[in-house]
């Protein structure tokens, strides 16, 4: 057994999350210290060796926990997705925890932000997204929602929300473009994961406020798309990330609060002028804000959430993408039962103890809304849904 400096960083893994009967691409360690709050890591299984079921059984008898070097997290994630012994919930938990490790580095107030840190974070998040895609590649929206419901939650809502939005964005884009290439799904997931990047410049007292924000504090929240753009613009100039189109990620971050009818922020972009992945992320953002356990005191059922969202079709959200999104919720029929709507200026970023519902006098069923949309030349969903960046000439200066 080989000893390693206690100064190295490790993360723990479950015994059932070790690939067996194939050579592992990471080292396995245990904490050999018998003293509480003391760590003394020792390597017990090296890269290139093949663990057997007997090895794992012996480890369980001898040790409380297994560990992997933090520097080997990425290769461990790639190995995990091929581990037949782990179910998708366990795999996603590990992937989620890894994404949180990368995101938390950006939100750590004790560390000075710089482009190198951002580049490393984006690169690490890309690894998490690629592993996420592998796990949910055959999932429809309903199954993604069910998987999210089985995952644990953390103290910082922004982390959980960003990861949920990433998963929904991947699923929605797959519904839009069934033959989407891997790099396109990565861009959708990475855009969802990083959409709230600019919030690192917002005081945590505002982000974590469980009540309705003051106009002043909400005005600060509304700056986060521009903050995110500024951070990404610095990154784009100084850090090259192969396989990632930073211009597209930049647009998703900057445009995910633009409304389809031009009433959004920061620049009042409208319709097709908003990048398609920003429109995808906007729907994922909205849906998760209504259905997640952590966002509001009242959590809506899937059916109620989609009914409420349908009132914003053609206003806040893209009618075509929303239609495909609802079709991706298998077996769900919208019946138009809800006589409530959210105000046009409702923003998923503003936490509230009670959702600000408004009663409406007459109710249109979701299918009637879609019929109206088609009559207004929205047409059938079609096209190649290219994600390549084409700078919008109508975009105002940030």
pLDDT digits (tens, 9 = 90+) for 86-108: 899 999 999 999 999 999 988 88
Pairing mode of beta strands 66-69, 10-13: antiparallel
Half-sphere exposure of 308 (CA within 13 A, CB side): 26
Distance from C-alpha of 192 to C-alpha of 186, rounded to nearest angstrom: 10
Give the model's pLDDT for residue 358: 65
- pLDDT of 301 > 90? The answer is no
Closest CA to 125 of 187, 202, 199: 187
Mean of the pLDDT values across residues 74-90? 90
Residues 241/257, Cβ–Cβ less than 8 Å: no
pLDDT: is 41 or 363 the higher one?
A: 41
When mean pLDDT is compared across 4-13, 33-42, 59-68, 254-263, the lowest value belongs to 4-13
CATH 1.10.3210.10 maps onto the chain at 87-375
pLDDT: is 209 or 12 the higher one?
A: 12
What are φ and ψ of residue 67, in 5° steps? -135, 155
pLDDT digits (tens, 9 = 90+) for 216-261: 998 999 999 999 999 988 765 566 777 889 999 999 999 999 999 9
Q: Provide the percentage of residues in the chain whose pLDDT is more than 90.
A: 52
pTM, rounded to two decimals: 0.84
Closest CA to 170 of 118, 126, 233: 126
Distance from C-alpha of 287 to C-alpha of 280, rounded to nearest angstrom: 11
The model's confidence at residue 21, banded by pLDDT at 50, 70 and 90, is confident
Fold for the domain defined by 87-375: Hypothetical protein af1432 (1.10.3210)
What are φ and ψ of residue 253, in 5° steps? -60, -40
Give the model's pLDDT for residue 239: 65
What are φ and ψ of residue 269, in 5° steps? -70, 160
């Amino acid at each position: 057994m080989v000893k390693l400096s206690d100064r190295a960083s490790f993360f723990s893994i479950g015994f059932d999350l070790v690939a067996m009967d194939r050579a592992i691409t990471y080292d396995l360690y245990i904490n050999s210290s018998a003293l509480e709050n003391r760590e003394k890591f020792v390597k017990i299984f090296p890269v290139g060796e093949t663990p057997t079921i007997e090895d794992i059984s012996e480890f369980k008898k001898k040790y409380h926990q297994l560990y992997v070097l933090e520097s080997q997290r990425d290769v461990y994630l790639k190995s995990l997705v091929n581990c037949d012994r782990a179910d998708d919930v366990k795999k996603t938990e590990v992937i989620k925890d890894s994404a949180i490790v990368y995101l938390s580095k950006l939100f750590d107030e004790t560390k000075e932000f710089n482009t190198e840190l951002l580049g490393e974070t984006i690169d690490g998040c890309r690894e998490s997204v690629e592993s996420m895609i592998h796990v949910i590649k055959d999932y429809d929206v309903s199954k993604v929602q069910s998987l999210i419901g089985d995952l644990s939650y953390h103290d910082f809502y922004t982390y959980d929300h960003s990861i949920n939005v990433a998963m929904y964005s991947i699923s929605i884009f797959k519904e839009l473009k069934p033959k989407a290439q891997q790099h396109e799904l990565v861009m959708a997931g990475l855009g969802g994961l990083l959409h709230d990047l600019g919030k690192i410049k917002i005081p945590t007292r505002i982000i974590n406020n469980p009540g309705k924000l003051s106009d002043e504090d909400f005005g600060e929240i509304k700056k986060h798309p521009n903050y995110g753009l500024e951070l990404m613009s610095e990154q784009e100039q100084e850090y090259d990330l192969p396989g990632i189109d930073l211009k597209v990620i930049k647009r998703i971050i900057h445009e995910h609060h633009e409304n389809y009818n031009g009433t959004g922020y920061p620049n009042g972009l409208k319709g097709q002028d908003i990048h398609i992945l920003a429109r995808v992320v906007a729907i994922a953002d909205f849906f998760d804000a209504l259905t997640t356990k952590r966002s509001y005191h009242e959590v809506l059922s899937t059916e109620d959430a989609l009914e409420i969202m349908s009132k914003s079709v053609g206003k806040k959200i893209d009618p075509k993408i929303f239609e495909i999104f609802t079709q991706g919720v298998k077996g769900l029929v919208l019946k138009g039962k809800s006589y409530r709507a959210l105000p046009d200026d409702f923003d998923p970023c503003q936490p509230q103890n009670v959702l600000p519902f408004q009663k409406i006098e007459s109710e249109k069923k979701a299918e009637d809304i879609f019929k109206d949309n088609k009559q207004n030349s929205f047409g059938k969903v079609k096209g190649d849904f290219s994600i390549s960046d084409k700078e919008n000439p109508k975009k105002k200066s940030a």
